[in-house]
Amino acid sequence: MSYETAIEQMYELGHELAQTPVRKFDLAHMRVLLKGLGNPELRFRSVLIAGTNGKGSTAATLASILQASGLKTGLYTSPHLIRINERIRINGDSISDGDFEMHHKIVDRTAKRLVEEGRLPWHPSFFEMLTAMAFQYFARNNPDIVVLEVGMGGRLDATNVVHPLVSIITDISLDHQKYLGETISEIAREKAGIIRTDGVVVTLPQMPEANDAIGNTTLDLGAQAVNAVLYVPPVSPGSTDTLSRDREKIAIRNTYPLDVMGTEIIVDSPLAGRHQLRNLALAIASAVELHNQGMVQITPQSIERGIRETRWLGRFQTVPVTNNSPECVFDVAHNPAGAWALRSTLSSAYRNSTGGPNIVLVFGVMRDKAVREMTEILFPIATHVIVTHADNPRSASADEIRLAAERGGNTSIEECADVAEAMERARALAGADDVIVVTGSIYIVGEAMRTLGIRI
């Protein structure tokens, strides 16, 4: 079997949310699969992160801090931008094609045997397969610690079979209501499913319903709650967004002084936007907690360095600017909360521009998302709106997006058949001093990056 065949077979399994009928999520099946593989999830230490927004940024920042502290660090995230290998990393390096192929063969062969023996009712899903492959890869390569991002929800997510040293819950908002519940309280209870009996959970105050759900679960399980609010900077002159913009590049960073472990450090993060300060705080608090547990050795200096060296693409990421070429901003905002964060960051980034640049918005979204709400947030700030769709069965068509936007009062919209055509049209509309913003879904951003030849 080749790497290409392994990838093809993975995608033939289909996304869990696109299956008809949708199979019930069940950790019992994941445990059977992992037992058949020799329980690789028990052979490495881990941190588990759930939440609606910010869990990927928190995971990437924490992994970078741990790596800067001299630890061999695994990172498992989803979805990917350009290549599936991005989801499984050690010390920032994606799993090789050869290792991906090998671990796919091992997990697939095991899964088929378990189905034949009647121990599994059907072949594992795409995400269950990939998670098992990641666990196999980490178990064989002996990282000091692995940072795991939950795929969806938490309680029944395939990652939720590990015994994490720390559980982290990022900001919770409405998303995936069909699967997680219609209210913040219901969704928060699903996220809180990653908390362990007598374990540790790191979080921040958020909506009252989410606070209650997390707090009640923590009390019921006798877990320890660590409040990361100590590391959220005040909105004051000591906490600033800085913008460096010229014809070579645009760089927007969060920079502020912070007392960590009795030492003042300068937090200089490449992840732009006020919303990222909460994710940074969660990562810092978790690193300090791991140090306090005696599990790893962390220093203020390694925290400072790890934050500075964090690399997490597609989060208000800008491409280099050349003469007579517009800036291009990529952001994977995929729900209303993410859309508001993007709108706020755009406002902050360009507030010093005289009159502000024209924004050409390239937008595509999955049809199971809050499409109309997202268009109401983002479309009014754009001079031109181009809607398109990703090469994904869950992707809303351009026409579906246009109809949803019109119901919200937005009418000046162009449709393009695919992302490549949308990017070509955006470049034709945007002047040298304008900004092209690509957003709505990680799949849209990933395809746009491939169109421009951007590599991970």
pLDDT by residue (tens digit) across 271-309?
A: 888 888 999 999 999 999 999 999 899 999 999 999 999
Nearest to 325 by CA among 432, 430, 436: 432
- pLDDT higher for 233 or 204? 204
Report d(CA 382, CA 361) in Å as an integer: 6
Sign of the C-alpha dihedral computed for residues 24, 28, 30 and 33 taken in this order? negative
H/E stretch holding 211: helix 208-220
What's the whole-number mean pLDDT along residues 204-227?
95
CATH domain 3-231 topology: UDP-N-acetylmuramoyl-L-alanine:D-glutamate ligase (3.40.1190)
- 317-451 matches 3-231 in CATH topology: no
Q: Is 356:279 a contact under the CB 8 Å cutoff? A: no
Q: Which residues, 6 or more positions from 255, have their beta carbon under 8 angstroms from its beta carbon?
A: 240, 241, 242, 266, 267, 268, 269
H/E stretch holding 90: strand 88-90
Report d(CA 87, CA 130) in Å as an integer: 9
Whole-number Cα distances in Å, 190 to 173, 195, 204, 224? 12, 10, 17, 18
For residue 250, what pLDDT band results from cuts at 50, 70 and 90?
A: very low
Is it the case that residue 354 has pLDDT exceeding 80? no
Is it the case that residue 245 has pLDDT exceeding 50? no
Is it the case that residue 416 has pLDDT exceeding 80? yes
Is it the case that residue 24 has pLDDT exceeding 70? no
Q: Which residues, 6 or more positions from 8, have their beta carbon under 8 angstroms from its beta carbon?
A: none
For residue 152, what pLDDT band results from cuts at 50, 70 and 90?
A: confident
Q: Which residues, 6 or more positions from 376, have their beta carbon under 8 angstroms from its beta carbon?
A: 405, 408, 409, 410
Report d(CA 439, CA 342) in Å as an integer: 9
Annotated domain spans of the chain: 3-231, 317-451
Report d(CA 196, CA 198) in Å as an integer: 6
Q: Is 76:63 a contact under the CB 8 Å cutoff? A: no
Give 366-383 pLDDT, tens digit per residue. Answer: 988 889 999 999 999 999
Report d(CA 127, CA 130) in Å as an integer: 5
Report d(CA 292, CA 309) in Å as an integer: 23
What's the whole-number mean pLDDT along residues 113-121?
96
Q: Which has the minimum average pLDDT: 46-55, 179-188, 211-220?
A: 179-188
pLDDT recorded at residue 355: 59
The CATH-assigned architecture of domain 317-451 is Alpha-Beta Complex (3.90)
pLDDT recorded at residue 25: 65
Place of tokens 């959220």: 232
Q: Is 88:204 a contact under the CB 8 Å cutoff? A: no
Q: Is 400:371 a contact under the CB 8 Å cutoff? A: yes
Q: Which residues, 6 or more positions from 127, have their beta carbon under 8 angstroms from its beta carbon?
A: 15, 16, 78, 151, 158
What's the whole-number mean pLDDT along residues 110-115?
97
Q: Is 46:59 a contact under the CB 8 Å cutoff? A: no
What's the whole-number mean pLDDT along residues 352-360?
70
Q: Which has the minimum average pLDDT: 16-25, 257-266, 327-336, 437-446?
A: 16-25
Backbone angles phi, psi at 243, to 5 degrees: -120, 125
Backbone angles phi, psi at 197, to 5 degrees: -60, 125
Q: What is the mean pLDDT of the chain?
A: 88
Q: Which tokens belong to 357?
A: 């640049």
pLDDT recorded at residue 238: 42
The DSSP output letter for 54 is S
Q: Which tokens belong to 101?
A: 């192929």
Is it the case that residue 109 has pLDDT exceeding 90? yes
pLDDT recorded at residue 243: 44
Q: Which tokens belong to 412?
A: 């000046």
Is it the case that residue 251 has pLDDT exceeding 60? no
Place of tokens 């700030």: 381
pLDDT recorded at residue 255: 81
pLDDT recorded at residue 148: 98
For helices 3-12 and 97-116, what crossing angle results, to 10°?
50
Give 28-47 pLDDT, tens digit per residue. Answer: 999 999 999 999 999 999 99
pLDDT recorded at residue 127: 94
- At residue 273, the 3 state secondary structure works out as coil
- At residue 29, the 3 state secondary structure works out as helix
pLDDT recorded at residue 368: 84
For residue 403, what pLDDT band results from cuts at 50, 70 and 90?
A: confident
Nearest to 245 by CA among 309, 345, 316, 320: 320
